[in-house]
Amino acid sequence: MSDLDPTLPPPTALEELRPKAREALLAARAVFLEEGYDGAKMDTIARVASLSKATLYAHFASKSDLFEALIRHECRAVNASLYRPDPGNPRMTDELRKVAANYRQIFIHKAGIELYRILVPVAPRFPRLARTFYAEGPSATIRQLADYLGVLRDTGRLRLPDADLAARQFLALVTEDIKLNGALGLPAASARQTEKIITSGIAMFVSVYAVAQQDERVTVD
């Protein structure tokens, strides 16, 4: 697995929380990553956070509530770190390239991948956890890109009937290889392979949706 991109910081920005809740979440993050969901104990989390169990339960009524809060904050922090494409840039392909490169970093973020692995097996038992993850993570990311694509459509640069679908398609094109590799712990693509994946994904997307413009043509080696 390659080194993390320094532009994508670890998702631990919890400054907006009350101090004890923040300490509880940081402790929970460490314990869940070490023990997994089923192995993690509220007693252990309270001890690591230097809190009493009563204080911990005053903030989070159950282990599932605590894990849900952790997932929510992780997702929001990651989304906050993602590149916001500029619809004012006449070079749409440059913006799409930045989106793709930045988005791929999610799938090589070690702690994020490990939390995802913890979530997947417990999701059938706790469907609310799955809904929270999807709403705060993938759905929010798709919505952000869809908003950008919608502006390009409204300004006549893209022909697309469904901005949400187009956003999903673009992200799939530029991350298809890395999602499974990240979840399974397989090596990430090389820099050369990554460049080819991103470039070909942009080329396919532009060939379908872009209004013909000379400066938006993409060459794939």
DSSP states along 95-137: HHHHHHHHHHGGGG-HHHHHHHHHHHHHTTT-HHHHHHHHHHT
Over residues 65-73, mean pLDDT: 93
Tell me the domains of the chain and their CATH numbers.
Answer: 7-69 (1.10.10.60), 82-216 (1.10.357.10)
- In angstroms, the CA 82 to CA 116 distance is 18
Contact 153/159 with Cβ under 8 angstroms? Answer: yes
Burial label for 168, CB within 10 Å (0-12, 13-18, 19+), is middle
Q: How confident is the model at residue 15 (pLDDT cuts 50, 70, 90)?
A: very low
Mean pLDDT of 48-65: 95
CA distance 109 to 81: 12
What is the pLDDT at residue 216? 54
* Position 173 pLDDT exceeds 80: yes
Residues 120-131 have a mean pLDDT of: 93
pLDDT band, very low/low/confident/very high, at 188 (cuts 50, 70, 90): confident
pLDDT score at 176: 84
Q: pLDDT category, 109, cuts 50, 70, 90? A: confident
Mean pLDDT value of segment 19-28: 91
The per-residue pLDDT of the chain, averaged, comes to 87
pLDDT score of 181 more than 90: no
pLDDT greater at residue 181 or residue 41: 41
Q: Indicate whether 1 pLDDT > 70.
A: no
Decide: residue 84, CB within 10 A, 0-12 exposed, 13-18 middle, 19+ buried: middle
pLDDT at 55 over 70: yes
| The two structure tokens encoding residue 220 | 């794939």
The pLDDT-based confidence of 30 (bands split at 50, 70, 90) is very high
